[in-house]
Copies of this chain bind each other. A is one copy, B any other.
C-alpha cells in the first residue's frame, strides 16, 4: 500500500486546513499517507519536522522527490489543476471568483484568527483567560459564518452546494470551519442555508472520512 500512495500529508487531526486537503484528495480519488504533527506538543517546530518542512507549517503535502507544498488553498488549486476530475471550481471566471471569494471569507478572514499561535499570544501576552479565548473564537466563527450565510441565502448562484449543484472549494472551506466549530463546541447563530449544504456534504464519503473525529490522533469519544 505504501508504494501506491500518491502523497505524504503532514497534518494534525483537528486542524481546519488539514481537513481541506483531506477532502480534496478524497474527492479526486487520491491517496496520502498522513503523518500526525501534534500542534499541542509543538511538534511543528521540532528538528525532525523542520528537516521535512523548514517552514514548520502544516498542512504540508509532499509528492515523492519534490519540495513540500504549503497553504491549504494553494494545495487545493494544485490538486485541481493536476487532477481535473471532478473539478473543484466552476468553468466560468465569474463563478470561479465567487467560489474563491467565499473560500477566502472562511480560510483567510475567519480561520487565521483562531489558530494556536494566535490563542497563545492572547493568553500569554494579551491577558486573555480561557473564557475570553472561547468568546474570541465564538465571535469570529460566528461573524464569518453569518456573513457567508447571508451570501448563500441571498445569491442566486447558490444551489444544492455553495455554488450550483457541484462541490467546490467553497464547500470544502465551509466544512473546515463548521467541523472545527463543532470540535470546539462553539455556540453559533442560526445558519439554515449552511446547515442544509453541510448535511449534503457530510453525507458524502469524501467529507465524512476527513472529519477530525475520524482521524488517528483524535481523542476517544
Q: Which A residues are within 8 Å of any B CB, using their own CB?
A: 54-55, 57, 66-67, 69-71, 73-75, 77-78, 81-82, 93-94, 96-101, 103-105, 107-109, 111-113, 117-118, 121-122, 125-128, 132, 135-136, 139, 143, 147, 150-151, 154-155
Residues of B close to A135: CB separation below 8 A: 125
CB contact between A78 and one of B97, B136, B151 (< 8 Å): that residue: B97
Residues of B close to A69: CB separation below 8 A: 94, 97-98, 101
Q: Copies of this chain, how many?
A: 2
CB contact between A70 and one of B99, B101, B121, B132 (< 8 Å): that residue: B101
A71-B101, A126-B128, A127-B127 known; A77 and B55 CB under 8 Å?
A: no
A113-B112, A139-B121, A150-B54 known; A73 and B96 CB under 8 Å?
A: no
- 17 further A-B contacts with Cβ under 8 Å, apart from A104-B108, A108-B111, are A54-B154, A55-B151, A57-B147, A69-B97, A71-B100, A74-B96, A74-B98, A74-B99, A74-B100, A74-B101, A75-B101, A78-B93, A78-B94, A109-B112, A112-B113, A125-B139, A126-B126
